[in-house]
Amino acid sequence: MLHAINGRKARLGVFRSAGIRVPLEDVVTSTVFGPIEFMSPEDARRSIDLICEALALPLPTSVGPLRAVFWPRLPLADDALRVRYSEPDLVFADDVGLVMVVEIKWGAPLSENELAAQWSALSHVDRGRATHVLLVQEPGSYRQAVEMDRDLVDARGMGPWNLELALVGGHGRARANAQHLRSRSALGIGCRVVPDAGTPFGGTRLVRNSTDPNE
């Protein structure tokens, strides 16, 4: 939570006041990923790999140690998608550039062109090696926004878009939707949601689509 408070994404007074909405999205980002900044490079890398494995995400390849940067303001070359800059929740960078861009949505909607703007802010080299991660509780509500952003990415020649969906939580609607999407492509981005009581993140995980019909 310290990164959220230090980055002015959350205020201590809000947590002490009943009836006021707490900005959970940024607090979750800070609480889950914040400790990585206090670890040795070796422990940080192991922690990142463990989180990626738990969320069925590809392990990032890197040159040198990975660094976590919270809410970076990535400048945009033009204002067509967003004014001046894009601000993902988290990026992981190595000695060459960005290797992973993370956007976390804890019930909040994606804003217009949000993911496309984040991808647009990456250099051509970074787009060729980075993974773009959307971490959500409920994937179905983001389908339309993701499809619109995919059209923008394609139209502006910024592909391929290496987008990965990670689902956190297996309760209520999220679990029901995971069951519904069990054998279908989740948001059309090359993976699907399946129940898995063995995961530490609430009973669901994503697996990559396979050409094997029995898998």
Q: For 83-102, write each residue's pLDDT tens digit.
A: 789 999 999 999 999 999 99
The pair of structure tokens assigned to 157 is 């020649």
pLDDT for residue 147 is more than 50: yes
Averaged pLDDT for residues 149-173: 83
> Residues 168, 202: contact at Cβ < 8 Å?
yes
Residue owning tokens 């990456």: 122
Beta-carbon-side half-sphere exposure of residue 10 (alpha carbons within 13 Å): 22
pLDDT in tens, 109-142: 899 999 999 999 999 999 999 999 999 888 888 9
Q: Which of 11-25, 37-51, 156-170, 201-215 has the highest mean pLDDT?
A: 37-51
**Residue-level pLDDT at 138:** 80
**Residue-level pLDDT at 210:** 40
Confidence of residue 144 (pLDDT cuts 50, 70, 90): very high
Confidence of residue 73 (pLDDT cuts 50, 70, 90): very high
Dihedral (CA of 24, 122, 51, 112) sign: positive
**Residue-level pLDDT at 14:** 52
Q: Which residue has the higher pLDDT, 9 or 162?
A: 162
The whole-angstrom separation of Cα 215 and Cα 51 is 24
- Strands 98-105 and 131-136, by their bridges, are parallel
pTM: 0.71
Q: Which amino acid is at 197?
A: A
The whole-angstrom separation of Cα 185 and Cα 191 is 6
**Residue-level pLDDT at 26:** 76
